[in-house]
Amino acid sequence: MNQPIFTASKQREFIFELIVTQGDTTPYGSASFINYIRWYNIARDALLAWKNLGFQENLKPLIETEVSFCDIQYKREAILQDEILIKVNAADIKEKGFNLLFTLIRKDNALLISLGKQKICFRNSKTADVVNLPENLVKNILTPIAVDEKSLLFKY
Amino acid sequence: MKTFNSGFDIYFEDLSASGKVHLEKIGEWMSMTREQYFKSSCPDHLKFVESPIQMFTMGLSITVTGTCRWADKIQAILTTANIKKISFEMHIDFKNERTGNVIAKGVQKVAFVDVIAKKFTNIPDNMKQVIVNFTNL
């Protein structure tokens, strides 16, 4: 039986675009590291909000996104007015959680600025229970951008 | 083991609905703890502040382990590790003083760079002595 062949050209990702603003920068003109946390959170929430995630109606007001672990690596500075792209992929999708991998590059020349990773689950803020991932989220949002982390060029 | 301790207050806006402190806030506390650490532990830190040598963060990780409510007080407990020629790691545990639980653990890798020469440089001697004193062997 023919197996689908995975190639880099078939890799899909969610892309979010930002510009480095005055308030992001240090006295030396480059964006401070704290922004990388904020930018990755914005990209994550843009991904997880752009479609109906598939939670039951009665759960929707109670569900919150929880990041139990985040890791960020600096590769190169981002400076004022740089247009940057954050590429987001999913990995290690399980019943109750998944990872998001972030690749932050400069838009005009694709230079790598930072890599990030978040371990994510959804918690019922009232009962504190971690809830199963909705099928819709897995099928329509995470799987299309899923990668095998071990096969990637970068170590997140 | 010698530790550097610092404190922060929890405000309503710092928390999610389930009482987790937002990652951005923990990142901000890590940077503030780093600078408080050098200000209070390194008597001649102004020599560094006025020099072309600057610290910058090469990597950071945060593990969230617990919850808070507003008006709680958080104790930041800093130690150092993996001290190299140009870099070291700060390990910071954030403990809720009301419950005694650690609510987050952060690791920040800090390197030193000469901003005029635009290259990495050794950890300044006066700061290295302070960093070594707080190592968590």
Is a pLDDT exceeding 60 seen at residue A5?
no
Q: Is the separation of the CB atoms in B109 and B87 below 8 Å?
A: yes
Is a pLDDT exceeding 80 seen at residue B82?
yes
Contact A73 B56 (CB under 8 A): no
Contact A28 B23 (CB under 8 A): no
Q: Which of B50, B63, B120 to mutate to test the interface with A (most CBs of A within 10 A)?
A: B63
In angstroms, rounded to a whole number, what is the distance separating the alpha carbons of residues B60 and B30? 9
Which pLDDT score is estimated for A144? Answer: 94
Neighbours of B128 (CB within 10 A): 16
Q: What is the mean pLDDT of residues B49-70?
A: 94
Contact A67 B23 (CB under 8 A): yes
In angstroms, rounded to a whole number, what is the distance separating the alpha carbons of residues A69 and B91? 15
List, for residues A29-79, the tens digit of each pLDDT value: 899 999 999 999 999 999 998 657 889 888 888 999 999 999 999 999 999
Q: What is the mean pLDDT of residues B114-118?
A: 90
List, in sequence order, every residue forming a beta bridge with A120; answer none if it has no partner.
Answer: A67, A98
List, for residues B14-23, the tens digit of each pLDDT value: 999 999 999 9
Which pLDDT score is estimated for A8? Answer: 47
Is a pLDDT exceeding 70 seen at residue A86?
yes
Q: How far are the Cα atoms of A60, B8, B33, B70, B95 from residue B26, in angstroms, in the given order? A: 27, 10, 10, 15, 12
Q: How far are the Cα atoms of A28, A42, A138, A150, B90 from residue A155, in angstroms, in the given order? A: 28, 22, 24, 8, 22
Q: How far is A152 from chain B (nearest CA, A)?
A: 20
In angstroms, rounded to a whole number, what is the distance separating the alpha carbons of residues A34 and A5? 39
Torsion from C-alpha of B94, B98, B101, B103, nearest 10 degrees: -40
Query: Which residue in A has a C-alpha nearest to residue B29's C-alpha?
Result: A34
Which pLDDT score is estimated for A50? Answer: 61
On whether ipTM exceeds 0.95, the answer is no
- A69 contact residues in B (CB cutoff 8 A): 61-64
Contact B58 A123 (CB under 8 A): no
Contact B27 A33 (CB under 8 A): yes
Which pLDDT score is estimated for A11? Answer: 63
Is a pLDDT exceeding 70 seen at residue B117?
yes
Q: How far is B65 from chain A (nearest CA, A)?
A: 7
Residue of B16, B56, B59 lying closest to A72 (CB–CB): B59
Amino acid sitting at position A29: G
Is a pLDDT exceeding 50 seen at residue A4?
no
Contact A74 B56 (CB under 8 A): yes
